[in-house]
């Protein structure tokens, strides 16, 4: 809507409101005045007529009463009249239709609904009522006068509104003329023609607006020139910065595409929103999936704890993949800056399975090297002691030779002693006894005591060595299935040569245990070798070994049960109780140290081991229970 129309409508609205109130107020006053005059006339007429007809009513002079009524009806505007005594209608005149209807008095003009104002008056004398009159006055003339006045007043008001609209149009046109110049100049500026100036006419507010407009136009032109210069310089900087960013993004993309570690970006709800090719190799089609869903259920609590941490954290996860193979992942979680109240997390996943295997092998080699070094040192010390003992044994051997010669001498002497005199016989026997005592004391007793001391020294060295090489409780995280496969590696050639099939059954979800890895590996290799040799001794065409590993609770303690079953030659019942005795073996070419050492290790960590067999040709089962050694911190 234009400013001119707004001016016209504004002034017209004011005029309409004021004139409407004025016309309405005038009509109310006119109606009130007309109504008052009508009521006054009706009351005066009825009172005077009641006084006039009082005597004819009291005297029942109906002729006079009729005359009065006829004279009264000659007044204009009178519709009807009725005169009653105390009991009946005495006389009436007027519109017959109105006379037939029942009388209902009106107290105000607004109550009139038949164009007749009805009123009554009593006929009394000295306070005694002798009758009453009823009469009606037409209100049509009054209504016509009010309608005519309303029409004239409204017409006058409408004329005034039209004149006001015309005046408003003239005023608006005069005011808008300068505004049109401003609008044209503004459109020029909007089209980019900065610096436009408009003429200033007068000194009113519109003129001041024109002055400020010219100043604004000049400032806009100056600011536009400065902005264009700045934009040109910024464009060069943006181009250079864009090239730098593109190069950085290309380098970052190249790093992400070619890095060997898996990279994920997680939303606040744990959903994967970004991943690199290395991540897709480990977990295919990862975008849009929950990161926790990639891992077994037993790791859910650990992962939820990591994801809920609002700071840099890391952990190493042991679990089994779909093929039940060991997977060792090193996770590093870094919170990213909050964007739109959403926290994202950067996850770096590194597959260190091969590295972990190599570390375990290096630890085993170091353990074996240490054992070998200790054994060499011990054997060197024992060798030195045995070398000294050997010299003593040579002395004892020489003493034996001397005793043999003395024995020959005594035999020869015994054949001649009868010829000796008593004194010579006694002296000869005394000399022989002294010689025997000297040989025994110097050549036998002393070397034997020294050999006994050497034997004690050897026993002491062995005891000290056993104490220094007792089981070291250094726990390692072990993946059961991979660990069993590693133990089988040292026997792969003989297993293949003798067509022995090994089946591994590990309880589902059991992906890590804590034990002394090296000692447990040596024990398992020794037990597997026993099963292989038992199968070889049985001459089975197809040997079978079943290794099962599962959780099991014994004596209210949590632990693990490992069974090694084979279809080998089996064990006679009489030998079962002796299998863990040092040096005992059912095979003549063996020394019986493997089962004894295995039993010692199992018992040292609080476990149990036993061997069951139904007899020869029925195979054997090694039943091992290992306690759960998982430290509290790892839980």
Asked if 529 contacts 492 with a C-beta cutoff of 8 angstroms, the reply is: no
Longest dimension (CA), the chain: 227
Is pLDDT above 80 for 293?
yes
* In the chain, % of residues over pLDDT 70: 85
Q: Does residue 512 share a domain with residue 600?
A: yes
Which pLDDT tens digit goes with each residue over 80-132?
A: 899 988 888 888 888 888 888 888 888 777 777 778 888 889 988 888 888 98
Q: Are residues 430 and 331 in the same domain?
A: no
In order of 322, 494, 527, 546, the CA distances from 506 in angstroms are 13, 24, 18, 11
Q: Is residue 251 part of a domain?
A: no
Query: Which whole-number Å values give the CA distances from 267 to 15, 239, 288, 301, 410, in the listed order?
Result: 67, 33, 10, 18, 107
Q: Are strands 262-266 and 128-138 parallel, antiparallel or unpaired?
A: unpaired
Residue 33 inside a domain? The answer is: yes
pLDDT value of residue 528: 92
User: Average pLDDT of 485-498?
Assistant: 89
Query: Is residue 491 domain-shared with residue 562, that is, in the same domain?
Result: yes
Helix (H, G, I), strand (E, B) or coil at 125: strand
Higher pLDDT, 205 or 57: 57
In this prediction, residue 259 carries a pLDDT of: 72
For residues 34 and 131, state if they share a domain.
yes
Strand partners, 557: 554
Residue 499 lies in a domain: yes
3-state helix, strand and coil shares in percent for the chain, rounded to the nearest 5 = 60, 20, 20
* pTM, two decimal places: 0.45
pLDDT at 302 over 90: no
| Whether residue 322 is found in the same domain as residue 414 | no
Q: Are residues 42 and 139 in the same domain?
A: yes
CB-based contact 213:200 (threshold 8 Å): no
> Two tokens at 506?
């590990």
Ranges assigned E (strand) in 259-392: 262-266, 272-275, 313-320, 326-335, 345-351
Q: Which single residue is written with the structure tokens 């009807």?
A: 80
Query: How far is the first Cα of the chain from the last one, in angstroms, to the nearest whole number?
Result: 78
Torsion of CA 119, 125, 126, 131, to 10 degrees: -60
Which of 254-263, 285-294, 383-392 is the most confident on average?
285-294
Q: Which of 321, 351, 381 is the last residue of a domain?
A: 351
What is the pLDDT at residue 410?
74
Q: Contacts for 28-33 with beta carbons within 8 Å, 24 or more apart?
A: 30/146, 30/149, 31/109, 31/146
Averaged confidence pLDDT in the chain: 80
Which stretch of 68-72, 432-436, 507-511, 605-609 has the lowest confidence by average pLDDT?
432-436
Tokens of 571: 């064990």
- Domain shared by 411 and 288, yes or no: no
Tokens of 136: 């009606």
Q: What mean pLDDT is predicted for residues 491-512?
A: 90
Q: Examine the fold and report which residue of 435, 468, 501 is the final residue of a domain before the chain moves on.
A: 468
How many domains does the chain fold into? 4
Best mean pLDDT range from 80-94, 148-162, 170-184, 379-393: 80-94
- Do residue 502 and residue 522 come from a single domain? yes
Question: Residue 563: what pLDDT?
Answer: 95
Domain stop point among 295, 320, 351: 351
Strand 128-138 relative to strand 78-85: parallel, antiparallel, unpaired? antiparallel
Nearest Cα neighbor of 604 from 632, 581, 626, 631 is 626
- CATH number for the domain spanning 278: value is 3.30.450.20
Within a domain: 407: yes
Strand 543-554 to strand 500-506: parallel, antiparallel, or no bridges (unpaired)? Answer: parallel
Domain that holds residue 617: 476-634
Instruction: Give the confidence band of 626 by pLDDT, cuts at 50, 70, 90.
Output: very high
Q: Flag whether pLDDT at 371 surpasses 70.
A: no
pLDDT at 468: 52
Pick 452 or 223 by higher pLDDT.
223
Residues recorded for the chain: 635
281 shares its domain with 370: no
How does pLDDT run across 528-571, given as a tens digit for each residue?
Answer: 998 998 888 888 778 999 999 999 999 889 999 999 999 998 88
- Check whether residue 395 and residue 337 sit in a common domain: no
Answer yes or no: is 24 within a domain: yes
**Do 509 and 297 meet the contact criterion of CB atoms below 8 Å apart?**
yes
Q: Does residue 425 sit in the same domain as residue 492?
A: no
Which position has the higher pLDDT, 158 or 249?
158
Burial bucket for residue 506 (CB in 10 Å: 0-12, 13-18, 19+)? buried
| % of residues, the chain, pLDDT over 90 | 8
Reported confidence tier of residue 471, pLDDT bands at 50, 70, 90: very low
> In sequence order, what are the beta bridge partners of 88?
none
Handedness of CA 173, 178, 184, 186 (dihedral sign): negative
Q: List, for residues 32-65, the tens digit of each pLDDT value.
A: 887 788 788 888 888 888 888 888 888 888 888 8
In a domain, 533, yes or no: yes
Kindly state whether residue 613 falls inside one of the protein's structural domains: yes
| In a domain? residue 187 | no
pLDDT at 75: 84
Please indicate, yes or no, whether residues 378 and 515 belong to a single structural domain of this protein. no
């Amino acid at each position: 809507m234009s400013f001119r129309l707004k001016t016209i409508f504004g002034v017209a609205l004011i005029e309409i409101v004021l004139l409407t109130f004025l016309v309405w107020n005038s009509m109310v006053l006119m109606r009130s005045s007309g109504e008052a005059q009508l009521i006054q006339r009706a009351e005066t007429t009825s009172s005077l007529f009641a006084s006039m007809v009082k005597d004819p009513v009291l005297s029942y002079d109906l002729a006079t009463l009729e005359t009065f009524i006829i004279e009264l009806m000659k007044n204009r505007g009178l519709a009807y009249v009725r005169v009653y005594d105390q009991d009946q209608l005495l006389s009436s005149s007027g519109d017959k239709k109105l006379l037939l209807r029942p009388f209902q008095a009106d107290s105000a003009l607004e109550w009139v609904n038949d164009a007749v104002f009805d009123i009554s008056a009593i006929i009394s004398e000295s306070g005694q009522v002798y009758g009453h009159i009823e009469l009606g006055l037409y209100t049509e003339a009054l209504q016509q006068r009010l309608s005519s006045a309303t029409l004239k007043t409204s017409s006058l008001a409408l004329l005034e509104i039209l004149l006001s609209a015309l005046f408003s149009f003239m005023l608006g046109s005069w005011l808008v003329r300068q505004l049109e110049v401003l609008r044209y100049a503004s459109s020029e500026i909007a089209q980019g023609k900065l610096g436009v100036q408009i003429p200033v006419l007068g000194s009113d507010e519109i003129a001041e607006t024109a002055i400020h407009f010219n100043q604004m136009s000049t400032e806009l032109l100056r600011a536009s020139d400065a902005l264009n210069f700045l934009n040109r310089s910024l464009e060069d900087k943006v181009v250079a910065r864009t090239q730098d960013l593109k190069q950085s993004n290309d380098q970052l993309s190249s790093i992400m595409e070619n890095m060997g570690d898996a990279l994920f970006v997680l939303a606040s709800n744990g959903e994967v929103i970004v991943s690199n090719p290395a991540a897709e190799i480990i977990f295919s089609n990862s975008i849009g999936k929950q990161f926790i869903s990639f891992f077994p259920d037993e790791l859910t609590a650990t992962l939820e704890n990591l994801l809920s941490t609002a700071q840099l954290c890391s952990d190493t996860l042991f679990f089994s993949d779909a093929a039940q193979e060991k997977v060792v992942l090193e996770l590093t979680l870094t919170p990213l800056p909050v964007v739109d109240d959403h926290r994202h997390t950067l996850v770096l996943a590194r597959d260190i399975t091969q590295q972990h295997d190599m570390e375990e092998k290096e630890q085993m080699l170091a353990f074996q090297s240490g054992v070998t070094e200790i054994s060499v040192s011990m054997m060197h010390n024992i060798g030195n002691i045995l070398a000294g003992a050997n010299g003593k044994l040579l002395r004892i051997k020489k003493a034996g030779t001397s005793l043999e010669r003395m024995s020959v001498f005594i035999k020869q002497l015994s054949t001649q002693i009868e010829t000796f005199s008593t004194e010579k016989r006694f002296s000869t026997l005394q000399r022989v006894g002294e010689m025997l005592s000297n040989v025994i004391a110097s050549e036998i007793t002393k070397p034997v005591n020294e050999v006994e001391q050497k034997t004690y020294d050897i026993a002491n060295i062995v005891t000290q060595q056993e104490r220094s090489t007792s089981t070291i409780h250094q726990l390692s995280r072990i993946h059961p299935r991979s660990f069993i496969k590693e133990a089988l590696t040292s026997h792969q050639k003989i297993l293949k040569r003798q067509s022995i099939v090994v089946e591994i059954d590990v309880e589902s979800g059991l992906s890590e245990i804590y034990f002394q890895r090296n000692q447990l590996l040596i024990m398992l290799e020794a037990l597997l070798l026993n099963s292989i040799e038992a199968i070889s001794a049985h001459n089975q065409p197809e040997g079978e070994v079943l290794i099962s590993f599962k959780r099991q609770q014994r004596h209210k303690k949590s632990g693990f049960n490992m069974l090694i079953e084979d279809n080998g030659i089996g064990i006679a019942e009489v030998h079962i109780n002796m299998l863990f005795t040092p040096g005992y073996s059912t095979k003549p070419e063996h020394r019986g140290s493997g089962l004894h050492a295995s039993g010692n290790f199992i018992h040292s960590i609080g476990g149990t081991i036993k061997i069951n067999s139904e007899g020869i040709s029925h195979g054997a089962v090694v039943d091992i229970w290992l306690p759960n050694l998982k430290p509290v911190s790892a839980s």
